[in-house]
Homo-oligomer: A and B are copies of this chain.
Amino acid sequence: MKVAIVTTGDEIMSGNVVDTNSAWIADRCWMLGHKVVWHIGVPDDRRAIGEACKMASKKADTVFVTGGLGATVDDITVESAAAAFKKKMAFDEKIWGNIKSFFKRLGRECTPNNRRQAYLPKGAKPLTNKIGSAPGVMAKLGKATFFFLPGVPKELYHIFDNSIQPWLEKKSDKYHQKFLRCFGIPEASFDERLKDIKLGNVRLSFRVTFPEVKIKLVARGKNAAKEIASVEMEIRGRIGDYIFAENDITMETKIGELLTKKGLKLSIAESCTGGLISNMITNVSGSSNYFERGIISYSNRSKIEILGVKEELIEKYGAVSKECAVKMAEGVRQISGSDIGLAVTGIAGPSGGTAQKPVGTVHIAISTKDGNLHKHLCQPRERTAFKIVVAYQALDMVRRYLIRSW
């Protein structure tokens, strides 16, 4: 099925807001085998919205229109589209009732403007919105099926998941799919190791989403699940240790799952990542059950005083060294009484590098009851990209320890 997206809104067109909705919708379509062939962005302007919708209906079978469903006078998306196709708008008592009770639940006043939201193009279908006042709208305009959705991402996701996803799935061939999320494998070696894999009816594709690579496996027909499982097994045989999770599971969620399953606690000593690793870990709800503490030992003094790194060790090897990283990991494990101590020390740059230890140098260590592990890397990158890659490297090291694939 061919899909077009029309994005409306002055705030998008002026660059105030980055349009993430289009990529989100396109990604959902891609996962179901539908292709976005045309995307148009227009300001909150009747003529432009009408023209964009007309054009979209000529390019695609299904059109998603986002933004401009609110209650203010700027919110003219649906009526502008309807006018372009010469469809009349009709007042819907039931929607008006829903809007009134939505505001009642919130304990807020429903304004006369909200009445505008109860008008739909004749023959159109409202799509329930439980978290906002504006319902989505499904309407046949021209030869295309139009879905009008609010610009607020969480309202858009909500309506899409409940009312559109099932419809899109019906329009797809029956298929199975699976995503394998990889980290740390060099790109060249990736191709090399997978190139002669026997795929049969399974389609394999990649996406690089920094710093991850996602492998997507898709198959159709009644043996699809089995065929994917067989290709997955072959892939895991070749690069299994780089696959950190499947489908929607992130690195930090995976670490949380593994720690919870094994009943282990983690503590972290960060220098060059400056709190990013702990911040990722604590983005997961429930992380207080397995994350004990984090120490951001930015100064040498803090490494010495809190983590028990010896001053002589830093003088001899430097704060960015294997010796210091290992001692930091041991230190944070010991003071926290955690099962695993993770430590990172390095030079984020852009300044602070030397010939022996250039910008990008990092030492990562973990300390456990089974002993210590250490890794030395050089990742000369822009400061924030450096922090992200190092955080992933560090968490991946914990993951590998937990699944014993070190």
Chain A residues in the interface with B (C-beta under 8 A)? 5, 7, 12-20, 22-30, 35-43, 48, 207, 209, 268, 270, 273-279, 281-283, 285-288, 291-299, 301-302, 305-306, 335-337, 348-352, 383-384, 387
Contacts and interface: CB of A to CB of B under 8 A. Distances in A.
B40 A27 contact: no
A156 to B, nearest CB: 14
A22 B348 CA distance: 29
A299 B306 contact: no
A390 to B, nearest CB: 12
20 contacts: A7-B39, A13-B36, A14-B35, A16-B27, A37-B43, A38-B41, A39-B42, A274-B278, A274-B279, A275-B275, A275-B278, A276-B279, A282-B296, A285-B351, A292-B299, A293-B301, A295-B296, A301-B337, A305-B335, A306-B306
Q: Identify the 8 closest CB pairs spanning chains A and B, nearest first.
A: A274-B282, A15-B26, A39-B41, A15-B27, A294-B296, A275-B278, A275-B275, A293-B302
B38 A42 contact: yes
Given A23-B12, A25-B15, A38-B41, A298 B282 contact: yes
Nearest to A12: B23
A14 B298 CA distance: 41
A279 B270 CA distance: 10
A336 to B, nearest CB: 7
Contact of A349 (B277, B285, B296): B285
B29 A15 contact: yes
A13 B26 contact: yes
Contacts of A282: 273-275, 296, 298, 348, 387
A302 B337 CA distance: 10
Contacts of A352: 288
A355 to B, nearest CB: 18
B27 A283 contact: no
A43 B286 CA distance: 41
Contacts of A40: 38-41
A283 B383 contact: yes
Contact of A18 (B5, B18, B36, B277): B18
A44 B390 CA distance: 34
B41 A14 contact: no
Given A274-B287, A305-B335, A17 B23 contact: yes
Nearest to A280: B275
Given A36-B13, A37-B13, A283-B387, A278 B296 contact: yes
A211 to B, nearest CB: 14
B306 A298 contact: no
B36 A14 contact: yes
A292 B298 contact: yes
A25 B278 CA distance: 34
A296 B42 CA distance: 45
B16 A302 contact: no
Contacts of A297: 293
A275 B294 contact: yes
